[in-house]
Amino acid sequence: MRPVKPYGDTLNDGVVQLSFTLPVAAGPQAREAAGMLAGAMGLEDVHVAAMERLGPGFSFFVVYGKCRHAVDMDAVAVVRPSVRPMTREETDEFIRTRLGRPVRVVGACIESDAHTVGIDAIMNMKGFHGHKGLESYRGMATVNLGAQVSCEQVAATARDFGADALLISQVVTQKDVHVRNLTRLADLLEAEGLRERLVLVVGGPRITHQLAKELGYDAGFGPGTVAGQVAAYLVQELARRWEEQTAKKQTGGEETCDGAGHDQGPDE
């Protein structure tokens, strides 16, 4: 049963529920238009289940119909950050033995975005849903700047704190404002010579790892991510970078430095 369709009343019957708003006054004509629109989208056996007046010249609809299409689950591939799962205790031990010093992390929700729920769930001691945030890790030193933080302030804090990593949350996504904000920060960090020394991570409801990479970030985490996943990624990526830089030095390459751009190894 690898090709699958939506499930409503019986398995693979293709039944879906669709809701949308039309800029037309509620009435028989609007209801008929909603049904025609759902049919044009490819739904069959369309039924307009609900129509509500939103205001002068606007109506909200709930429509049911059958989807004709199926998806082959064997062809579905998900691009994710490469990370080995670790408990909080394992992460702290990894920091102690592999990095030899605290990992410095700055978190923020940038520019006009005023929502702290995402960054707080990852950074704060209490965390979310039983998953304690990065503040609870013995091996991490953290600064949570909160919401509506300018890109300039994020960059300045990362520089002054000697950050190894930046965690950026973007919740508001209307008109792709999150893409513009994230692009601006990445460009600013590059211009100020901070980008290469940082592990740059972004999370949010419309974030994927693929989008993050396209915008110049190292990793992207979407809905459902918990602090332990981010922590494991950060420490493993920092260790990978340090070991790569150490190997270059041993073969006569560049001078080694740790993930924050320091000139010493993990036992500093």
pLDDT per position as a tens digit, 2-54: 889 999 989 889 999 999 999 999 999 999 999 999 999 999 999 999 999 99
d(CA 124, CA 207): 21
Q: Which pLDDT band holds residue 264 (cuts at 50, 70, 90)?
A: very low
Backbone dihedral angles phi then psi of residue 29, each to the nearest 5 degrees = -65, -40
pLDDT per position as a tens digit, 162-215: 999 999 999 878 888 899 999 999 999 999 999 999 999 999 988 999 999 999
Q: What is the mean pLDDT of residues 45-74?
A: 95
Q: Could you please state the CATH topology (level 3) that the domain comprising 88-250 is classified under.
A: Rossmann fold (3.40.50)
pLDDT at residue number 174: 82
Active-site option among 66, 126, 132, 249 = 126
Q: Which amino acid is at 112?
A: S
Percent of the chain with pLDDT strictly greater than 90:
75
pLDDT at residue number 214: 94
Q: Which pLDDT band holds residue 267 (cuts at 50, 70, 90)?
A: very low
Q: Whose CA is closest to 220, among 179, 160, 172?
A: 179
132 catalytic per annotation: no
pLDDT per position as a tens digit, 92-151: 999 999 999 999 999 999 998 888 999 999 999 998 888 999 999 999 999 999 999 999
Q: Whose CA is closest to 68, among 1, 13, 3?
A: 13
Options 3.30.30.60, 3.40.50.1010, 3.50.50.60, 3.40.50.1000; which CATH number does 3-73 get?
3.30.30.60
Instruction: Give the burial string for 236-251 (b: 16+ CB within 10 Å, else e).
Output: bbbbebbeebbeeeee
pLDDT at residue number 235: 98
pLDDT at residue number 259: 44
pLDDT per position as a tens digit, 214-243: 999 999 999 999 999 999 999 999 999 999
Do the Cβ atoms of 240 and 233 come closer than 8 Å?
no
d(CA 127, CA 134): 8
Domain with CATH 3.40.50.280 in the chain: 88-250
DSSP per-residue letters across the chain: --EE---SSSTT--EEEEEEEESS-SSHHHHHHHHHHHHHTTEEEEEEEEEEEEETTEEEEEEEEEE---EEGGG------------HHHHHHHIIIII-SPEEEEEEEBTT----HHHHHHHSTT-BTTB--GGG-TTEEEEE--SSB-HHHHHHHHHHHT-SEEEEE----GGGHHHHHHHHHHHHHHHTT-GGGSEEEEE-TT--HHHHHHTT-SEEE-TT--HHHHHHHHHHHHHHHHHHHHHHHHTT-SPP--TTS-SS-TT-
Quick one: tokens of 123?
Answer: 């950074």
Instruction: Give the burial string for 171-186 (b: 16+ CB within 10 Å, else e).
Output: bbeeeeebeebbeebb
Q: Which pLDDT band holds residue 251 (cuts at 50, 70, 90)?
A: confident
Q: Which pLDDT band holds residue 253 (cuts at 50, 70, 90)?
A: low
Q: Which pLDDT band holds residue 78 (cuts at 50, 70, 90)?
A: confident
